[in-house]
Amino acid sequence: MLKRLCSKNEKDSLYFYKFTALVALEILLAFSVFGYIFIKPVAITFMHIPVLIGALLLGPWEGMLLGILFGITSLWKATVAATLYADMVFSPFLSGAPLNSLILSVGMRALFGLVAGWIFLYIKKKNAHIKVWIFVGSIFATLLHKELVFLAFHFLFPAAGIKAGLLSGGLDLYNWLDMVFTGAVVFVIYKFWTIPWVQRLVVHLRKVRWSRNKEEQFKYLFLGCVLSLLLWGSLVLHFYGRAQIIFAQDAVVLSSLAFMRFLQLGLQFLIASMAISYLLSLLVIILCKYLSEMKQLSEHDVLSGLFNRQAFEMQISFLQRGRDGIRGAFFILDVDDFKYINDTYGHPFGDRILQEVAACLRECLDGKAVIGRIGGDEFCVFLPEQYTREHVESMAGTICDCLRKIAVSKERNLSASMGIVYEDTADLSYTDLYKRADEALYCVKKQQKNGYAFWQGKTV
């Protein structure tokens, strides 16, 4: 199972965020007033909904893990605040039958999440009226959850006098209202998730990587969790300290059991607070990722991933500031006979050739080079650092050699022509650099193509 989950995380860059958001939501619902609505005589609970959402959007195993978490939080709450026998049986510390309590609290919820995932997998394969079936499937999965819990009560704790809903003559109206409400919530969430603009946002977010090194990414996440724990923990300790002062002033003495429950309630508050912090942080992360992707799209050519014309020109203007006297270099590269390649082999093949040219430029140039696709089959390179003419010429030769390795057909390989400006580039605007490099490029094209030339005054 762990290998399967790791594989999903590799394929989907948002997988970790989606799963951990559902974990935080489950914790928040379990330890706060958001977990249920009580309007006499109806009580509607939300704590199983993250399990259903995880089973629907992520899969059966994620549903099972969220079900286990649901069971653990139920077990813990029963241990702290249970007063009736029907509540105490959820706690292995209070029921007198620890294994039975674990099966009731954790085992049934894990089974519920797993089976709900299988139900949704089957529904997705039907591909007909899928949203309606998800609504029906959510109701059925919720009914299954209730029946599993009631069956565990009936067979593991018969003294509680609770029978399975269907065995006792059916569920009452309030249970059915609860199940229909759950189905409606899951239906609305799935409908929202499948809205085209939401899917487009998801696609954009998946393209952004916060860190090239996943170990570094998890290191920052761990540090963030530790910092959150310290901050919220300090608030909880402050609360305990003030509470003890108030108890002492009013001569209130807590028994050891009451004191332990008091401490556990504070710990639940701490965990719920961290869950809220994580969910809010996740919203900030999503916003930052979206803005980062929008910036990426506005500055980069979609096909090649290089700077587009406008961003390339801005980069040159920025790098030229305060660099008087430094001999940089400016290249224009034009793929030879690209129109013939496009017309003969088709535009998809031509697009692949352009992507290979972009990859070749990245491979041959160092990280300080600014590379852009100006339009069509035309690429530009700006070298802002001080290089000798021999080094620039060597770079040009390396690029030409790399491009010649790209096969167009069995009989023909790719070639390109380059015009190069090598002088004090700080005094020249982008337009001046482009014009001079274009003149040098024209001379190469006019003579033999498949080569490069330097601009030298009015002659090349």
pLDDT exceeds 60 at position 42: no
pLDDT in tens, 204-246: 777 666 555 556 666 777 777 788 778 888 887 888 888 888 8
Same domain, 87 and 143: yes
pLDDT at position 410 is 82
pLDDT score for 380: 93
Determine the pLDDT at residue 118: 95
pLDDT band per the 50, 70, 90 thresholds, residue 270 = confident
Do 182 and 285 share a domain, yes or no? no
Same domain for 252 and 371, yes or no, is no
Are 254 and 328 members of one domain?
A: no
Residue 205 falls within a domain, yes or no?
Answer: no
Q: What is the CATH number of the domain that holds 361?
A: 3.30.70.270
Q: How many domains does the chain have?
A: 3
Is the confidence at residue 43, as pLDDT, over 60? no
The range of the structural domain enclosing residue 125 comes to: 2-194
In tens, the pLDDT along 301-322 reads 888 888 988 888 888 877 776 5
Domain contains 140: yes
161 and 277 fall within a common domain: no
The verdict on 248 and 379 lying in the same domain is no
Same domain assignment for residues 218 and 175: no
pLDDT at position 323 is 59
Model pLDDT, residue 234: 84
Comparing C-alpha atoms, which of 276, 241, 236 is closest to residue 33?
A: 276
Let me know whether 132 and 271 are in one domain. Answer: no
pLDDT tens sequence across 103-153: 999 999 999 999 999 999 999 887 778 889 999 999 999 999 988 888 888
Domain finish residue from 299, 334, 361: 299
Distance of alpha carbon 179 from alpha carbon 151, whole angstroms: 18
Mean pLDDT score, 174-198: 88
Q: Is residue 153 part of a domain?
A: yes
Amino acid (1-letter code) at residue 107: G
Whether residue 200 lies inside any domain: the answer is: no
At 258, the pLDDT band (50, 70, 90 cuts) reads confident
| Same domain, yes or no: 251 and 365 | no
- Do 288 and 324 have their domain in common? no
Are residues 143 and 237 part of one domain?
A: no
Residue-level pLDDT at 298 = 74
pLDDT at 15: 86
Q: Where among 299, 322, 353 does a domain terminate?
A: 299
369 and 254 part of one domain: no
**pLDDT number for residue 201:** 79
Judge whether 371 lies within some domain: yes
Tokens 């299954």: give the residue: 144
Highest averaged pLDDT of the listed ranges 245-254, 287-296, 340-349: 340-349
Q: Which of 39-53, 190-204, 252-266, 351-365 has the lowest mean pLDDT?
A: 39-53
CA distance 282 to 205: 13
Give the pLDDT confidence score for residue 184 in this predicted structure: 93
Question: Residue 388 above 60 pLDDT?
Answer: yes
Percent of the chain with pLDDT over 90: 26
Q: What is the pTM of this model?
A: 0.69
Mean pLDDT, the chain, whole residue set: 83
Q: Which residues contact 239 (CB under 8 A, 6 or more apart)?
A: 266
pLDDT at 459 over 50: no
Q: Is residue 401 part of a domain?
A: yes
Per-residue pLDDT of 412-453, as tens digits, reads 888 899 999 887 666 778 888 889 999 998 888 888 788 888
Q: Note whether residue 137 is domain-resident.
A: yes
Percentage of the chain modeled with pLDDT above 70: 87
Final residue of a structural domain among 168, 194, 220 = 194
What backbone phi and psi angles, to 5 degrees, belong to 195? -65, 135
Mean pLDDT of 57-76: 93
pLDDT at 85 over 90: no
Question: Would 304 be classed as within a structural domain?
Answer: no
Average pLDDT in the 19-42 region?
82
